[in-house]
Chain A
Amino acid sequence: MIAELGLAALWMAAALAGLQLLAGILALTGRGASLGGIVRPVAAVQGVLALIAFLCLIAVFATTDLSVKLVAMNSHSLKPLIFKVAGTWGNHEGSMLLWVMVMSLAGGFVALVERRLPEPTMLATLAGQAFVSLGFYAFLLIASNPFDRLSPVPEEGNGLNPLLQDLGLAFHPPTLYLGYVGLSVAFSFAIGALVTRQVGPAFARAMRPWVLGAWIFLTLGITAGSYWAYYELGWGGWWFWDPVENASLMPWLAATALLHSVSVLASRDALRAWTVMLGVVAFSMSMIGTFLVRSGILTSVHAFAVDPQRGSFILALLAINIGGALTLFALRAGTVTEGERFALVSREGALVFNNVMLSAILGIVLFGTLYPLVAETMGAKVSVGPPYFNPMGALFAVPMLVILAVGPMLRWRRDSFARVGRSLVIPAMLVAAGIIAMVVVGGVGLLPTLGFALALGLGWASVLPLKGRNLRRTPLPIWGMVLAHFGIAVSLFGMSCESAFSVEKLVAVKAGDATAVGPWQIKLDAVEPMAGPNWTALEARLLVRYGDYGKVTQLDPQSRSFWAPPQQTSESALLTRWNGQLYAVLGGEADDGRWQLRLWWKPFVPLIWLGGVLIALGGLLALLGRVASDLRRIFAREKIAYRRGRMADLQRAQEGEEP
Chain B
Amino acid sequence: MTRRPAALSLTALSLAMALWLTVPAAAQEEQTTAPFAYRQLDDPAKEQQAQALMETLRCLQCQGQSIADSDAPIAGSMRSLVRERIAAGEQPEAIRGWLIERYGDYVSYAPQLTSLTWPLFALPVVLIGLAALLLRKRFRRGEAR
Contacts and interface: CB of A to CB of B under 8 A. Distances in A.
B105 A299 contact: no
A382 B105 contact: yes
Given A242-B64, A384-B109, A388-B109, A596 B120 contact: no
Interface in B58-114: 58, 63-66, 68-71, 104-111
B15 to A, nearest CB: 8
Given A164-B2, A356-B131, A375-B116, A385 B38 contact: no
A312 interface: no
A161 B63 CA distance: 15
A625 B1 CA distance: 33
Which one of B66, B139, B141 has the greatest number of beta carbons of chain A within 10 Å?
A: B139
Contacts, number: 169
Shortest Cβ-Cβ A-B pairs, 6 listed: A385-B109, A235-B69, A387-B110, A588-B27, A381-B106, A344-B139
B135 A388 contact: no
Given A360-B131, A383-B111, A590-B31, A244 B4 contact: yes
Contacts of B10: 567-568
Contacts of A356: 131, 134-135
Contacts of A244: 1-4, 64
Contacts of B31: 590-591
A587 B38 contact: yes
A234 B68 CA distance: 11
**Which applies to chain A's interface (DSSP): helix, strand, loop or mixed?**
mixed
B106 to A, nearest CB: 4
A370 to B, nearest CB: 11
A240 interface: yes
Interface in A385-425: 385-388, 392, 395-396
Contacts of A367: 119-120, 123
Given A589-B27, A591-B27, A371 B119 contact: yes
A641 interface: no
B117 A95 contact: no
A468 B88 CA distance: 62
Nearest to B24: A589
Contacts of B69: 233, 235-237, 240
B29 to A, nearest CB: 10
A229 interface: yes
Contacts of A229: 3-4
Contact of A243 (B38, B64, B131): B64
A55 interface: no
A607 to B, nearest CB: 21
Given A240-B65, A363-B127, A392-B124, A566 B14 contact: yes
Given A375-B116, A506-B40, A596 B27 contact: yes
A383 B108 contact: yes
Nearest to B48: A443
A384 B38 contact: no
A396 B127 contact: yes
A593 B120 CA distance: 49
Contact of A385 (B40, B56, B119, B141): B56
Contacts of B106: 381-383
Contacts of B141: 341
Interface in B21-52: 23-24, 26-28, 30-31, 38-40, 48, 51
B120 A371 contact: yes
B14 A567 contact: yes
B123 A235 contact: no
Nearest to B39: A506
Contact of A504 (B26, B40, B131): B40
Contact of A380 (B14, B116, B130): B116
A591 B104 contact: no
Nearest to A89: B1
25 contacts: A90-B1, A233-B4, A237-B68, A240-B66, A242-B3, A244-B2, A341-B141, A341-B145, A343-B142, A344-B135, A356-B131, A371-B117, A371-B119, A371-B120, A375-B116, A381-B106, A382-B105, A382-B106, A383-B106, A385-B109, A386-B55, A386-B56, A568-B13, A570-B71, A590-B28
A356 B120 CA distance: 19
Contacts of B71: 234, 570
A387 B109 contact: yes
Contacts of A237: 68-69
A378 interface: yes
A357 B3 CA distance: 28
A228 interface: yes
Given A341-B145, A382-B106, A387-B109, A591 B24 contact: yes
Given A342-B142, A357-B131, 9 more contacts: A240-B66, A343-B142, A344-B143, A360-B130, A371-B120, A387-B111, A388-B111, A395-B124, A589-B27
Given A388-B110, A392-B124, A382 B117 contact: yes
A245 B64 CA distance: 11
Nearest to A566: B14
Contacts of B142: 341-344
Given A506-B40, A590-B28, A591-B24, A161 B5 contact: yes
Contacts of B40: 504-506
Interface in A224-261: 225, 228-229, 233-237, 240, 242-245
Given A352-B138, A381-B104, A382-B106, A173 B56 contact: no
A207 B78 CA distance: 51
Contacts of A235: 68-70
A243 B4 CA distance: 9
Contacts of A506: 38-40
A589 B63 CA distance: 26
A344 B68 CA distance: 46
Given A235-B68, A367-B120, A591-B31, A385 B134 contact: no
B117 A375 contact: yes
Contacts of B120: 367-368, 371, 384, 388
B143 A343 contact: yes
Nearest to B105: A382
Contacts of A17: none
B1 A293 contact: yes
B5 A566 contact: no
A570 B1 CA distance: 19
